[in-house]
Amino acid sequence: MHTINFPIFAIPILKQNTTFMSVIQKIRDKYARWAVVAIALSLLGFILMDAFAGRGSLFSGQSTTVGKINGRKIDYQEFVKKVDITEKLQKDQQGGDLGESGRQQIVQSVWDQEVNDVILSKEYNELGLTVTERELRDILYGANPPQDLKQRFTDPATGVYNAVQAQQFIGQIRKQGAQQDKDQLNQYLESLEKDRLQTKYTSLLSNSIHFPKWFLEKRNVDNSLMAKVSFVSVPYSSIPDSTIKISDKDIQEYADAHKKSYEQKEENRSISYVTFSAAPNASDSAAAKNSVLALKPQFDTATVYENFIAKNSILPFYAGFISKSAIQQPNKDSILSAPVGVVYGPYLDAGQNPAYVLSKIIDSRVLPDTVKVRHVLVATHQQTQTGELMPVREDTAAKRLIDSIQTLHKAGAIFDSLVAKFSDDPGSKSAGGVYDNVTTGRMVPAFNDFIFTHKAGETGVVKTSFGYHYIEVLSQKGSSPAYKVAYLGKPIIASQETENTAQNAATIFAGDSRNEKAFNENWEKNLRGKGINKLSANDIKPLDYSIQGINGASRKFVKDIFQADKGDIVGPERVGDNYVVALVTEISKEGVASVARVRPSVEPILRNKKKAEQIKKNIGQISTLEAVATKVNQQVQTIDSIRFMGANNMLGYEPKVLGATFNPANKGKVANEAVPGQAGVYVLRVDNTTTVPVETASIEEQRKMMETQTRQRMMQIMQYGGGNPFVDPLKKAADIKDNRAKFF
Give residues with Cβ within 8 angstroms of 243, minimum separation 6: none
Q: What is the pTM of this model?
A: 0.68
Per-10-residue mean pLDDT of the chain, 744 residues long, equals 28 29 36 37 36 36 84 92 85 74 88 91 91 91 87 75 87 85 86 90 89 91 90 95 94 91 88 96 95 95 90 93 90 91 92 91 95 96 74 93 95 93 88 92 95 96 96 95 95 95 96 94 94 93 90 92 95 94 92 86 95 94 92 92 72 88 92 93 93 82 90 84 83 90 88
Q: According to the model, what pLDDT value does residue 101 have?
A: 81
25: three-class secondary structure by DSSP: helix
Residue (of 355, 310, 270, 292) closest to 535 by Cα position: 270
Q: According to the model, what pLDDT value does residue 99 have?
A: 79
Give residues with Cβ within 8 angstroms of 665, minimum separation 6: none
Cα distance between residue 346 and residue 355, in whole Å: 10
Cα distance between residue 510 and residue 564, in whole Å: 14
Task: Print the SS3 string covering 119-178.
Answer: HHHHHHHHHCCCCCHHHHHHHHHCCCCCHHHHHHCECCCCCCECHHHHHHHHHHHHHHCC
Q: According to the model, what pLDDT value does residue 98 have?
A: 78
Q: Please say whether the beta carbons of 170 and 185 come within 8 A.
A: yes
Cα distance between residue 170 and residue 395, in whole Å: 30
CATH number, domain 225-262+596-691:
3.10.50
Cα distance between residue 558 and residue 104, in whole Å: 13
Strands of 578-588's sheet in order across = 535-540, 268-277, 578-588, 569-575
Peptide bond into 12 cis (omega under 30): no
Amino acid identity, position 596: A
Torsion angle in degrees (nearest 10) through CA of 295, 297, 299, 300: 160
Q: According to the model, what pLDDT value does residue 385 have?
A: 57
Q: Report the length, in residues, of the chain.
A: 744
481: three-class secondary structure by DSSP: strand
Report phi then psi at 664, rounded to 5: -55, -30
Does the CA dihedral 256-257-258-259 come out positive or negative? Answer: positive
56: three-class secondary structure by DSSP: coil
Instruction: Give Cα 373 distance to the centre of its chain.
Output: 40
Please report how many Cα atoms fall inside a 13 Å half-sphere around the Cα of residue 347, on the Cβ side.
15
Amino acid identity, position 433: G
Strand partners, 738: 67
491: three-class secondary structure by DSSP: strand
| CATH 3.10.50.40 residue spans of the chain | 268-279+495-589, 370-477
CATH number, domain 370-477:
3.10.50.40
Q: DSSP string spanning 70-114? A: TTEEEEHHHHHHHHHHHHHHHHHHHTS--HHHHHHHHHHHHHHHH
Report phi then psi at 573, rounded to 5: -130, 135
Does the 268-279+495-589 domain belong in CATH 3.30.56.10?
Answer: no
Q: According to the model, what pLDDT value does residue 165 have?
A: 85
